[in-house]
Amino acid sequence: MYSVSSSSFISTFSPKPSLHLRHSSSSRLLPRINSTVVEERAPIINPSENNGPPHKKLYTRSNRNAVASPAKLRPETTLVTALFTTVEDVINTFIDPPSRPSVDPKHVLSGNFAPVLDELPPTECEIIHGSLPPSLDGAYIRNGPNPQFLPRGPYHLFDGDGMLHAIRIRNGKATLCSRFVKTYKYNVEKQNGAPVIPNVFSGFNGVTASVARGALTALRVLAGQYNPVNGIGLANTSLAFFCNRLFALGESDLPYAVRLTNTGDIETIGRFDFGGKLEMSMTAHPKTDPQTGETFAFRYSPVPPFLTFFRFDSTGKKQRDVPIVMRMNIMDLVLEGGSPVGADNRKTPRLGVIPRYAGDDSEMKWFEVPGFNIIHAINAWDENDGNAVVLIAPNIMSIEHTLERMDLVHSLVEKVKIDLVTGIVTRHPISARHLDFAVINPAFLGRRSRYVYAAIGDPMPKISGVVKLDVSKGDRDDCTVARRMYGPGCYGGEPFFVARDPGDQEAEEDDGYVVTYVHDEVAGESKFLVMDAKSPELEIVAAVRLPRRVPYGFHGLFVKESDINKL
């Protein structure tokens, strides 16, 4: 069995901002700040004022503005913090202002991309259509960027602190909880009352800005504001459950272990290095073999060897690194005045295939695939007695726009077959639609699968619906077999498939549900939708009105009740 990777390792997406968000008259908002919509902080209710009992951890919609903790007092600003903040304001104003829409907070954080400024304790939700099936007992959790502080300078969507939005389902009832992932970066900046650690995607735009921010960063470290050894990254991209642990993941740091409590609350356990075996960072998209329990991952970095492949066995023990030697010059991107992450159109894209138990990179085979730019792989499996690999993945047609102009990008899902003997690579499109953020039944990961559930870009990252694809159809056929559009002004997120009965080995591959969050920009409210995966129209079997807005985000995961009990 081989593992498939791409020589282009960009793992998330860049937004086309939404410029307006209309709300119903009952919505409570602060005034716009630089055209960015933010929610009003919930009023603080003091139980001593009415001599009532202490607040419980669960709230109904009638008192949903209540909070379970004291008011968040802004930390007293020290002289050092005030001085560094002033220097940073000078950099943001005169040296490196947010000159491009992709790093301008007025655009990036507009509409439902705006952050929610407070966490939400477990709060009861209203089921407004149908009923929640027993198969969904557990929790659907979605990760995404939600900056703790409104940006004072350049800001890219990828730079926000991670916030988890978890809908906990039990016996047909649901609660929603939204909590920040308490990374080292989050805690340091909360303590200082201001951003301290520079943003990766928006903080180093050209030589002058890089030198200025680099010098300020060095001074912050020397002054003891933070220790980069403890991590400087985010956990805002995805979630993964393996080794009987639940992790919040980002590409720029180690995984952060989190857990769900019996009440549906979310707790951050801490940064996790697997007993000192995992260094620096790892991909936000590890793959777990459902049959062996092994998890396969990689990391990339700005220093040699640039790319490293590794795996975890079924007990959670990390195995040795397999360095993959690559050529990269990150300074080229910095000197050209852009983000340190980007694409080089002068090079031909390659797919790398490596045995899952490879001892070193001499076993890696590279295949040039002109014009094929993969970001989110959907599935891959062996064929022809292991002499061929089939890959299902969206091809980003204009990769150079991924970080800057997502509205110009078109993702075409393709079926790629790599003959490991002859080196011949054949490709054909599965659908002409603009599709990404696609998933399958997780039980079929790494083996031949038939159905794909993909988000429809309108354009990305606004998602107007979901389609079901049958990849077993002929090479020249449109593989779309079902579709659900969310309606005017309604946009969703990445879909996720939940099997009706995960323990039934004879169940059909599409016997289950597709779930996602959807936001109605006209009514100003968010919902959780449950769709019948076998229905030709992906019929909605349950809709849950959420107690407050859930901003657009990245990747999600369903964790069944039995796995929650292991945390």
Distance CA 44, CA 64 (A): 12
Q: Position 352: which residue type?
A: G
Taking a C-beta distance cutoff of 8 angstroms, is the pair 513, 541 a contact? yes
Distance CA 451, CA 439 (A): 9
In terms of DSSP H, where are the helices of 405-453?
none
| Strand ranges, E, within 356-405 | 365-368, 379-383, 388-396
Taking a C-beta distance cutoff of 8 angstroms, is the pair 67, 44 a contact? yes
SS3 263: coil
Q: Please indicate if the annotation marks 285 as binding a ligand.
A: yes
Distance CA 4, CA 511 (A): 27
Distance CA 38, CA 301 (A): 34
> In the block, which residue shows the tokens 């289950």?
512
Taking a C-beta distance cutoff of 8 angstroms, is the pair 429, 413 a contact? yes
Q: How many CB atoms lie within 10 A of CB 222?
A: 8
Is the Cα dihedral 557, 560, 566, 567 positive or negative?
positive
DSSP β-bridge partners for residue 557: 141
DSSP 280: S
Q: Please indicate if the annotation marks 410 as binding a ligand.
A: no
- Rounded to 5 degrees, φ, ψ at 383 are -140, 170
Please, which residues have CB within 8 angstroms of residue 468's CB and are 6 or more apart in sequence? 451, 452, 453, 480, 481, 482, 483, 510, 514, 533, 538
| 527 sits in which H/E element | strand 525-532
Q: Please indicate if the annotation marks 376 as binding a ligand.
A: yes
Please, which residues have CB within 8 angstroms of residue 276's CB and are 6 or more apart in sequence? none
- Rounded to 5 degrees, φ, ψ at 220 are -60, -40
DSSP β-bridge partners for residue 528: 517, 544
Task: Enter the tokens of residue 16.
Answer: 């086309």
Please, which residues have CB within 8 angstroms of residue 1's CB and are 6 or more apart in sequence? 355, 356, 382, 386, 446
Rounded to 5°, the CA angle 236-240-241 comes to 145
Q: Strand pairing of 451-457 and 463-470?
A: antiparallel
Q: What are the Cα distances from residue 10, in Å, to 242, 249, 451?
A: 23, 14, 25
Which residues participate in the annotated binding site? 285, 376, 555
Which residues participate in the annotated binding site for Fe cation? 285, 376, 555
